[in-house]
Amino acid sequence: MTERAGPAGSGIGCFIAAGVLLAILCYGVYGARHDARIAADFGRVTAGQPGESAIGLLGRPSWRSPCQSRFPYGALEDCAEEIVYASSFAPLKPIYWTIELGSDGRVLRAHQVSSP
């Protein structure tokens, strides 16, 4: 007589699926909280403030680069560097908080850039 067993690995597949769903949920919660914190604290960045002070307020940026090197948005003429914080859900939610620094390292302008 032959014994009949259930599908091999079905328990492991359910465990992996549950793990993936949990990871997606955790990232969604983290991303929403991260974006809300950046949006709230971004209003505290002011012109003339040292750039490192802005980073201390907002945390590690998504990237730092010469002005308009990633995407053109009409940077100020004397902009030397941009500090960018991307939405956790970019490019699905294309929102970027951008800080423009002058050659002296001080904030020239802080603004939000959205892609259509």
* pLDDT, one tens digit for every residue, the chain (116 residues): 555 555 555 678 888 988 999 999 988 888 889 999 999 999 999 999 999 999 999 999 999 999 887 777 777 788 999 999 999 988 888 899 999 999 999 999 999 988 76
Q: For the domain bounded by 10-114, which CATH number is listed?
A: 3.30.1450.10
* Domain residue ranges of the chain, discontinuous segments joined by +: 10-114
Which residues, other chains included, contact 58 with Cβ-Cβ below 8 Å and sequence gap of 6+? 38, 41, 42, 45, 85, 97
Q: How many CB atoms lie within 10 A of CB 75?
A: 19
